[in-house]
Structure 1
Amino acid sequence: MPDEADILAPSAPSCLIGNIAANQGCLRLPRKGRKGRACLSTILTAAASRMLENAQEDLSDMQISQGDGVQPVCGRCSKSSRPCRYAQHRSATIAFRHSRLSTLVAQAEGFTKNDKIDVSVSTQPPAPTPVVTETTQVSSTSLFPNEPAVSALPADDRALPHNAIRYPASESGEAASSPSFPRNPYTVSPTAPIPRPGLFYRHAPRRLTTIEGELLQFFVQNIGPWLDVTSPERHYTYTVPRLSLQCTLLHTAIMACSAHILRLLNPERTELSSEEDKYQSTCINLLIPILNDVGSAVQDEAVLATITILRMSEQYDEYHIDRQCHLVPGAFAHLDPSAQASTRTGGLLQATFYSYVRADIRMAILGRCSTKIAVSSWPLDESYPETGADWANRMTWLLVHAINHCFGRECPGLLPRAQLDELIDEWRSNVPDTFEPYYYEEQERDSFPVIRLLCSWHVVGLQFYHTAKILLASHFPPSPPHTTPDTNINTNNILTYHHHLKTTILPHVHALCAISFSNDHFGCRINASHCVAMGAQFLTGRGDQWRVIEYFRMLGTENAWPSRACLDMVGMEGV
């Protein structure tokens, strides 16, 4: 039985009884002159007695810590000649810092904060608790029987939702708001529970083979950053690979995409062809029945991310043989309408959406046709962008409107052209200073200056800005007094058009090419290869034309990026 000296010991307590004494704080003495004032010793004795009684009552059902750490009997218990007991740690407890992703996965699998955790008491010292870092995958323990353990994400990934429809409840009990991004009017409630196929998640984290490890590493180091050009959170670099360890659909998509691109970069590695075919077949067989269940499948981020990854692989085919099987027009057609169209970043779903839009833009420019995604279903977000990535996404959506004005004039839902011109000019006037180059240098033997920007989304935003200006200026040149605004280039006014070309179009062409040539982020290069090809048609200098041709040959040689359509476009006349 502990004594008063043990309880009132001045040293910092670490065992249970010492903690109780410390938590009492300083004893308050009666003020001088108050009636019934007791002496100090009486007060201390009474307080000690009360604390001892409370400690004895709570000792049996409270967790007892390790005291001063001496095992098997801590120093305080040895001094007081009392049994030293330790709390036995529950084996299912995982020591990591929680991200919002892991919380949402847990909620999706039925785990709630109300689940009771029984803590048993043992007379044996506890085994040391392993510390799991954020980048460590926990494979042996889980909060759920036969369920995958979810590793935590980096601090900048903690705002990532896992499922686009099932949102966690807030502290007030209300459902949290859904991610804000372009919405379609045909969908179900964002809080409705969504059934998921058994093959979709619900399996333990896989152990990768040697070839799978290589393919996943290639995805993390290359393909993920290419898809994350407007995602500061780098969802395809961090989040998607980790989800793939527990999601067969994502895993097979990543393996197929990586094997395909690696095979193109290393033609001598013939074994990659069979790996690609194997994973591609498995992924498609899983994806088709999921897509047939339109009511639930397309609302899950993993399904949409899978489509995006497959589309990335598909884009490595030359334009004339690209079947666009995974540029699915209705991929985002069944999301909830609770929010207006938004350019805000902040989720895997939005990163996937804008990756899809950029792929759609590429095919529209190469094919000189309207985009597949219907602009009428996604009204422009009128809120003020908050981050550089938000500004880049806003220009992405303005470029979609510009493309449809130029190549699909019957397309409903377009912004009026005058308003679109105004919005594009306002974008350039109001864009943050971070979009200004940190390095600029004129070249003596090259008409394209060196223009270097800090972030990939700065590059993408300005690439799309200059592309939109080139498209609109070339398709809607200033009209002579006797023509209508929609009249095409009037061949009787060659001098007028030549002046328009020199003063309005070519400055944007040179800026677009200079930005694309100066920044070596491959995601930005492939993002604008078609834009450069479209703009390079207006270049008149032979040296400038050869510089563009060398650029496309470099993309094909070093990165296996298909450039035949771009080279053909450079040789075409007009837009």
Structure 2
Amino acid sequence: MTEEVMDLLLKYQSGIGAWMDVLDHSSNYRRQVTRRAASSALLMYSICALSAKQMSLVAEHSVWELVAGRFYGQSLRLLIHDLNQIDAKYDEVFVATLLLCSYELLSIPGPDYRKHLEGVSSLLWSHCLPSITTDLDKASFWIYARHDVAMALINYCPTLIATSEWPDAMAGPNSEEDAVGNKVLWLLAKVIELRFAPSGNITPGNRNQCLLEVGAEVNKWWDDLPLTSHGLSSGDVSEDGLSQLWFCVQSAAAGLLYFHVAKILLLEESIKGSQEANALEDRYEYDNYKEQLHHHSRSIASICFSPGVEDGVLVVAVNPLYYAAKYAPSLSLKAKIWALLDKIENELGFHTKTRVMELQRELESQLSQNNV
């Protein structure tokens, strides 16, 4: 092992590896993946590529970009080779593909990222979905699921793998915060599936009924949540209505972010449905919807601005922060959220610029409409 490789492995274990394990208390991507990388050039080079890519975005770009490109090319060649082997270790191929997806996501989630994620979904369909039984396979699937949900939110479309095809990960009671967080991720994916389903795939009546049912599931998830997973408040509230929260484990914070996005999407649908039916003539009803949106906006912001929230949670928070800014009750809070999104990209190397630009366009559109 060279000194360069050792340095990149250490950076991975303390950085991106921790992000990937944010909803995995067993820390499979910092433990099992690095352990297996010692005897797998594919995993070793994939880890090094990802770690170097992050460094190229937060440190000396010209130095680290060359290193990242070199390891990326090596890992991609090995990945293509392994995919053509009959006796390929598909669990390692799955991990490597996810690591390279994360590499592409760091800079900008463009066509290469989508193509790679589609490749992961094809790999899951053909080799992995029926046999996800080991802890590493489960950890890999949930990382894939976070990618899939994030891309669905960005593109306003259903997830690549339908929620009905997700592994039977919800079976059996499990009150650990990582399992609870993964469950609400699954519920969010179900909401997305209904919200952004192509017209004609489901009748309006069935769609509305399914939304009511998944909404009830989301509410039950919240009702069943232990109080400690809500975050413990200091009691202080800022001028923007934000509370200072402390979480005993970071996975609880990540799960809450997914919950609040699910609630916002359901509220958007309620407002849209009522407007189409001309049922929002009652100003009180409309104001109630808006206040609920403001509540979830403040809740997301409270989590993200609280002391002690780790980088892995902030990476999960990029899409939730977009919705928090979209429904922020004040311009000052909206500006703070934009600044945090910029900070995430500048300090962590995780792409947020697309979401910030989208928020800016929406604000400009609102201001122009108000001036008409």
TM-score w.r.t. length of structure 1: 0.57
Give the letter for the 2:261 counterpart: T
Matched residue, 2:315:
526
Q: CA deviation at 1:370?
A: 1.5
2-structure distance, mates of 1:292, 1:489: 55
- What secondary structure is seen at the aligned counterpart in 2 of 1:231? coil
Q: Which has the higher contact order (CA 8 A, sep 6+)?
A: 2
1-structure distance, mates of 2:101, 2:129: 24
- What secondary structure is seen at the aligned counterpart in 2 of 1:218? helix
Map 1:337-486 to 2 at 5 A: 337=130, 347-378=135-166, 381-409=170-198, 416-477=210-271, 480=274
2-structure distance, mates of 1:399, 1:528: 14
Q: CA deviation at 1:460?
A: 1.3
- What secondary structure is seen at the aligned counterpart in 1 of 2:13? helix
Structure 2: gaps of 5 or more residues: 366-372
Matched residue, 1:503:
291
2-structure distance, mates of 1:461, 1:348: 20
Map 1:138-537 to 2 at 5 A: 208-267=1-60, 270-292=62-84, 297=88, 300-320=90-110, 323-327=113-117, 328-333=120-125, 334-335=127-128, 337=130, 347-378=135-166, 381-409=170-198, 416-477=210-271, 480=274, 488=276, 493=281, 495=283, 498-518=286-306, 519-537=308-326
Query: Do 1:443 and 1:450's aligned partners in 2 also have CA atoms closer than 8 Å?
Result: yes
Q: CA deviation at 1:296?
A: 5.8
Greater fraction of residues in helix: 2
C-alpha distance after superposition, 1:360-391 (max 9, x if no partner): 11111122122112223227635333422211
2-structure distance, mates of 1:366, 1:478: 19
Query: Do 1:388 and 1:432's aligned partners in 2 also have CA atoms closer than 8 Å?
Result: no
Query: Do 1:249 and 1:286's aligned partners in 2 also have CA atoms closer than 8 Å?
Result: yes
2-structure distance, mates of 1:489, 1:277: 54
Query: Do 1:477 and 1:500's aligned partners in 2 also have CA atoms closer than 8 Å?
Result: no
- What secondary structure is seen at the aligned counterpart in 1 of 2:245? strand
- What secondary structure is seen at the aligned counterpart in 2 of 1:235? coil
- What secondary structure is seen at the aligned counterpart in 1 of 2:95? helix
2-structure distance, mates of 1:332, 1:309: 15
Query: Do 1:388 and 1:434's aligned partners in 2 also have CA atoms closer than 8 Å?
Result: no
Query: Do 1:438 and 1:453's aligned partners in 2 also have CA atoms closer than 8 Å?
Result: yes
C-alpha distance after superposition, 1:329-355 (max 9, x if no partner): 22321336478xx9xxx7111111111
Matched residue, 1:562:
351
Matching residue within 322, 332, 338 for 1:549:
338
TM-score w.r.t. length of structure 2: 0.86
Matching residue within 328, 332, 338 for 1:539:
328
Q: CA deviation at 1:501?
A: 3.1
Q: How many residues matched?
A: 354
Moved more, 210-219 or 379-388: 379-388
Q: CA deviation at 1:454?
A: 1.4
C-alpha distance after superposition, 1:29-61 (max 9, x if no partner): xxxxxxxxxxxxxxxxxxxxxxxxxxxxxxxxx
Query: Do 1:398 and 1:424's aligned partners in 2 also have CA atoms closer than 8 Å?
Result: yes
Query: Do 2:245 and 2:303's aligned partners in 1 also have CA atoms closer than 8 Å?
Result: yes
C-alpha distance after superposition, 1:369-420 (max 9, x if no partner): 2211222322763533342221111111011101111112566899922221
**Residue identity (%):** 22
Give the letter for the 2:91 counterpart: E
2-structure distance, mates of 1:494, 1:401: 30
Q: Structure 1 382/216 Cα, relative in aligned 2: closer, same or farther at 3 Å? A: closer
The structure having more radius of gyration, on CA atoms, is 1
2-structure distance, mates of 1:279, 1:556: 22
